[in-house]
Amino acid sequence: MAINWFKYSAPSTFYGLAGKLIPWFALSAAIMFAVGLYIGFVVAPMDAQQGEFYRIVFIHVASSILSMFLYLIMAGYAALGLIFNTRLSSMMATAIAPTGALFAFISLWTGALWGKPMWGAWWVWDARLTSELILLFLYLGFIALHASIDDPRRADRASALLAIVGSVNVPIIYFSVKWWNTLHQGSTIKFSGTSMHVAMQQAMFVTLVACWLYAIAVVLARVRSIILERERHTKWIAELPEVK
116 is a site residue for another protein (CB under 8 A): yes
Task: Give the contact letters, 47-66, x = binds to another protein (CB under 8 A), - = no.
Answer: ----xxx-xx--xx--x---
**For 190, what's the count of Cα atoms within 13 Å in the CB-facing half-sphere?**
8
Integer Cα distance of 45 and 192 in angstroms: 23
Closest contact distance (angstroms) between CB of 99 and another protein is 7
Q: Decide: 216 and 25 in contact? Cβ < 8 Å.
A: yes
Please measure the distance between the N-terminal and C-terminal CA atoms of the chain and give it in whole angstroms: 34
82 or 208: CB nearest another protein: 208
82 or 95: CB nearest another protein: 95
Closest contact distance (angstroms) between CB of 21 and another protein is 15
**Per CB under 8 A, which region of 70-78, 129-137, 192-200, 228-236 contacts another protein?**
228-236
The candidate with the shortest Cα–Cα distance to 211, out of 20, 35, 8, is 35
Closest contact distance (angstroms) between CB of 232 and another protein is 5
98 is a site residue for another protein (CB under 8 A): yes
113 is a site residue for another protein (CB under 8 A): yes
Q: How far is CA 213 from CA 99, 108, 136, 164, 219, in A?
A: 12, 21, 21, 25, 10
204 is a site residue for another protein (CB under 8 A): no
Q: Decide: 100 and 67 in contact? Cβ < 8 Å.
A: yes
Q: Decide: 103 and 215 in contact? Cβ < 8 Å.
A: yes
Contact residues: another protein, CB under 8 A: 37, 41, 51-53, 55-56, 59-60, 63, 98-99, 102, 105-106, 109-110, 113-114, 116-117, 214, 218, 221-222, 224-225, 228-229, 232-235, 237-238, 242-243
